[in-house]
Amino acid sequence: MPHKHNASRRHRIGKMKFKVANWREYEAGLRRRGSLTLWLTPEALSGWAAPRRTTRGGQRHYSDLAIETTLMLGIAFGLRLRQSEGLLSSVLALMGLDLPVPDHTTLSRRARTWKPSAKRRAEPDAPLHVLVDSTGLKIYGAGQWLEEKHGAKSRRGWRKLHLALDADSGEIIAHALTDQDTSDASQVAPLLDQIDDEIGRFTADGAYDGDPTYNAVLRHSTEAKIVIPPRATAVARQEAEPVNQRDCHVASIQADGRLKWQASTGYGKRALIETAMSRYKGIIGRRLRARSCPTQLTEVAIGVAILNRMLICARQKSVRCKATTPATK
């Protein structure tokens, strides 16, 4: 993106100011996020025992909901598996419930095959505005520290977390975890496969520019409006060829400039997905705790469920303050 207008004089231009319109409800919701009853719900306690199997094999003692509750409790409060086991044991004892607690070995084993069961909390009234982006998560181990401090070459890499966000509700509606060499555009179709609702608008940054992204979105929703900034060297197609949405973006940028194109298309909404990724790293963490890929997928899925549940408790409504003009003599 180009620099803003008046870049050399922007220190004299006052920054936009916002205030929280629902501060009382937002503050109460922030306190509720630390309540244990938010994560240990009556539904989880009623479905604690696993249903009996009708096929051959051993009988499970804990349901998938019990495993999910224990893992969610640990990730929400930054605990390891053994500490999660101890916290849950003390909470159940204080509640006077005689329920068995999954031990850390059971949690580690069941996390490899756990499948998310949480659904979206509400059906949208209108087509979705989907925001897509990716960020990096470090893998367990020393990695970069050894290379920077001692010059030792480390083969440890990092994982790439792909997120799809509902711009209206702020809820993460799809996610994927890949290795560091996977391109962003290749994960558009897997993310859209997790979304059953109609998509009205799709917004992403320039890394997703290209026919594969446009084709994947239009296969899902033929009437979707796609907002992706084309490359600086992009050229519109010849007049004889059918004009698509990307050609319209290229022509608009060439005619009015990139800044006006951003304002006319609402590209600034993409900042919400940046906020969601920052919220994930700030609350869940910048590093994956699990070591195997299946367990890392479970960790990410539960982390996304935690953020969505926190969003239900408290979401601020920011409104822009009116600018005050300086008094003149």
Give 163-190 as a DSSP string: EEEETTT--EEEEEEEETTS-SGGGHHH
Q: Of the ranges 132-141, 161-170, 285-294, which is most confident?
A: 161-170
**Which one-letter DSSP state was computed for residue 269?**
G
Same domain, 204 and 226: yes
Report residue 161's pLDDT band, with 50, 70 and 90 as the boundaries. very high
Dump pLDDT digits (tens) for 14-45.
777 888 888 888 898 888 888 887 888 888 88
Report residue 328's pLDDT band, with 50, 70 and 90 as the boundaries. very low
Separation of alpha carbons 110 and 294, rounded Å: 10
Higher pLDDT, 6 or 102: 102
Same domain, 99 and 145: no
Instruction: Tell me what pLDDT residue 32 has.
Output: 87
As a whole number, mean pLDDT of residues 223-238 equals 87
Lowest mean pLDDT among 83-97, 148-162, 279-293: 148-162
Residue 240 lies in a domain: yes
Hey, CA dihedral for 285, 291, 296, 302, is it positive or negative? negative
Asked whether residue 94 carries a pLDDT value surpassing 80, the answer given is: yes
Same domain, 150 and 233: yes
Asked whether residue 9 carries a pLDDT value surpassing 80, the answer given is: no
Separation of alpha carbons 231 and 111, rounded Å: 41
User: First CA to last CA across the chain, in angstroms?
Assistant: 40
Same domain, 201 and 299: no
**Which one-letter DSSP state was computed for residue 62?**
B
Higher pLDDT, 2 or 253: 253
Are the CB atoms for 91 and 36 separated by under 8 Å? yes
Are the CB atoms for 265 and 227 separated by under 8 Å? yes
Same domain, 313 and 198: no
State percent of the chain over pLDDT 90. Answer: 45
Are the CB atoms for 276 and 163 separated by under 8 Å? yes
Same domain, 109 and 133: no
Residue 194 lies in a domain: yes
Residue 9 lies in a domain: no
Residue 329 lies in a domain: no
Separation of alpha carbons 173 and 177, rounded Å: 14
Dump pLDDT digits (tens) for 44-78.
888 898 888 777 777 788 988 899 999 999 999 99
Phi and psi at 163, nearest 5°, equal -125, 145
Residue 171 lies in a domain: yes
- Alpha helix locations (H) across 150-292? 188-193, 211-220, 245-256, 258-265, 271-283
Same domain, 176 and 282: yes
Same domain, 103 and 221: no
Instruction: Tell me what pLDDT residue 327 has.
Output: 46
Asked whether residue 10 carries a pLDDT value surpassing 80, the answer given is: no
Same domain, 202 and 270: yes
Residue 242 lies in a domain: yes
Residue 284 lies in a domain: yes
Range of the domain at 23: 15-115+293-323
Which of 139-155 are b and which e, b meaning 16 or more Cβ less than 10 Å from the residue's Cβ? beeebeeeeeeeeeeee
Report residue 155's pLDDT band, with 50, 70 and 90 as the boundaries. low
Helix (H) or strand (E) holding 141: none
Distances from the Cα of 240 to the Cα of 105, 246, 255, angstroms: 64, 16, 20
Q: Is 131 helix (H, G, I), strand (E, B) or coil?
A: strand
Number of domains the chain contains: 2
Same domain, 175 and 106: no
Report residue 329's pLDDT band, with 50, 70 and 90 as the boundaries. very low
Residue 164 lies in a domain: yes
Same domain, 271 and 307: no
Same domain, 206 and 279: yes
Lowest mean pLDDT among 32-46, 136-150, 233-247: 136-150
As a whole number, mean pLDDT of residues 252-256 equals 89
